[in-house]
Chain A
């Protein structure tokens, strides 16, 4: 297959998969992932394979995903989130422990447990933000809390990624020294390099696109050489770019690269899934789904209540946080690269996570489409008589 044909089929397939997902009312991430699983080397019809084109685009996609997340992330915004949000965010951390616990109980070991904890913990800010803005739920009291907790999760996720990256980098004092060196260089950039970065990116059009791309890939390559996770380096660079004030222009300059490469990343995750192995992991995936739903609703309710939401809104908070997506896949793809894990464990994690994400995104879409009904069903038994009375009065008013 020529490179051109390969790229053409890739773009066409991704377009069709994305379009079908949208028609079905789920996130395109599901379509890209399933495309990779079903039409990959181990799939039903082997159309796509892991080759230079797909691997390059996939790797770039991972970097761009984290780079854009970093640009959108802001420490100030997290702190602006005030006490209630932080409190809800801390309660939400319990989901990490739940995922870790499941892995350890099933005998995967603690390292795989850290990966699985991350997979179960991180809600999909992309999927949730889009579901929320497409719905009429934006002004609900729990929407505000949910979006705040997502910012908290993004930060926690970076800590998890750094930790996992260092733990699986092959170990040794050398890799820690390299990582420390990278962080020190980054600290210098963040402290003194703001003007430098601002001047470097003060270009328009193709010059800006080329420079931003060079900066991203070279920083990631440098980080890798020093034994620091490239994905986290991309996130940190994104934060620095946001600080330089060039964020909107850099975002639009790299937008089409982002669209193509991020979609390719999900396809590549799918390509690496062995369908027969993955089907063997259906029980694990279903267990993870069940655990996530139960633990997620419980922590969402507790976190929501602790941060001052009413009972029904607290249940809603748990529901809104349910969708998992891109970042669970990012963590699973890192697990698949982790030499410290046995091959069987890596395949199990990747396969189970892929199925898990497909199911969780679908659950999320269903929940958001019928949010009030699902919320009522779950929260009615939890309400006090007074609250139930109030709601019935309001509903009676509605009916007028």
Chain B
């Protein structure tokens, strides 16, 4: 059972270190390998081994929150940069926009269907961020609340129109 393993054909060996945590070893194409030790308290250690080396050349210790940040740094270019470029190519003139619904917005308290956002502006609401949770693809009877952040998609003119409709 190697869950984080072999996600994209790169093999990861998982070893239980009894009483201490887990170790994940990933071979590097450039030679040598990286060993990530995960301790029960959430601390991670990243050990870099050179080829034929039985001792790490360097050890990086990070606490749980630092590890999360590191994962964000490592994950960001992989997940976002290429996909945004791809989106630009494919979608061309389309724009994705975030708009927050104010207390005074005429849409507050009204359902998505009743707001006729799509008919009146051409822009679609593809998600609503509420209380730190994302409602993806909200239905026509989803009711807007003040403080909601709406994720809109459409041409720049359409999202601008939606923006003014929301602001009232």
Q: Which residues of A contact B (CB under 8 A)?
A: 72, 77, 80, 125, 129, 132-133, 136, 138-141, 143-144, 147-148, 150-151, 310, 312-313, 372, 390, 394, 397-398
Is A150 in contact with B18, judged by CB distance below 8 angstroms? yes
Point out the residues of chain B lying under 8 angstroms from A136, CB to CB: 45, 47, 56, 59
Point out the residues of chain B lying under 8 angstroms from A129, CB to CB: 18-20
User: How many A-B residue contacts, CB cutoff 8 Å?
Assistant: 61
Is A139 in contact with B54, judged by CB distance below 8 angstroms? no
Provide the bound-state CA to CA distance between A143 and B19, in Å.
Answer: 12
CB distance from A251 to the nearest CB of B (A): 11
Point out the residues of chain A lying under 8 angstroms from B29, CB to CB: none
Is B52 in contact with A390, judged by CB distance below 8 angstroms? yes
Point out the residues of chain B lying under 8 angstroms from A138, CB to CB: 17, 20-21, 23, 37, 45, 47
Point out the residues of chain B lying under 8 angstroms from A132, CB to CB: 20
Q: Which residues of B contact A (CB under 8 A)?
A: 15-21, 23, 25, 35, 37, 39, 45, 47, 49-50, 52-57, 59
Point out the residues of chain A lying under 8 angstroms from B25, CB to CB: 139
Is B56 in contact with A147, judged by CB distance below 8 angstroms? no
Is B16 in contact with A140, judged by CB distance below 8 angstroms? no
Partner among B15, B20, B39, B52 whose Cβ is within 8 Å of the Cβ of A394: B52
Provide the bound-state CA to CA distance between A144 and B21, in Å.
Answer: 11
Is A372 in contact with B55, judged by CB distance below 8 angstroms? yes
Most buried by B among A125, A139, A141, A398: A139
Point out the residues of chain A lying under 8 angstroms from B52, CB to CB: 390, 394
Is A133 in contact with B55, judged by CB distance below 8 angstroms? no
Point out the residues of chain A lying under 8 angstroms from B45, CB to CB: 136, 138-139
Point out the residues of chain A lying under 8 angstroms from B16, CB to CB: 77, 80
Point out the residues of chain A lying under 8 angstroms from B56, CB to CB: 136, 139-140
CB distance from B136 to the nearest CB of A (A): 34
Point out the residues of chain B lying under 8 angstroms from A72, CB to CB: 18-19
Point out the residues of chain B lying under 8 angstroms from A397, CB to CB: 50, 57
With both beta carbons as reference points, the residue of chain A lying nearest to B46 in the complex is identified as: A139
Provide the bound-state CA to CA distance between A139 and B49, in Å.
Answer: 9
Provide the bound-state CA to CA distance between A150 and B19, in Å.
Answer: 10
A-B pairs, top 7 by smallest CB distance, nearest first, are A139-B47, A139-B35, A129-B19, A136-B59, A138-B37, A151-B18, A147-B18
Provide the bound-state CA to CA distance between A88 and B114, in Å.
Answer: 72
Known: A139-B59, A140-B55. 20 other contacts (CB 8 A): A72-B18, A72-B19, A77-B18, A80-B16, A129-B18, A133-B21, A133-B39, A136-B45, A136-B59, A138-B17, A138-B23, A138-B47, A140-B56, A147-B18, A147-B20, A148-B18, A310-B54, A390-B52, A394-B52, A394-B57
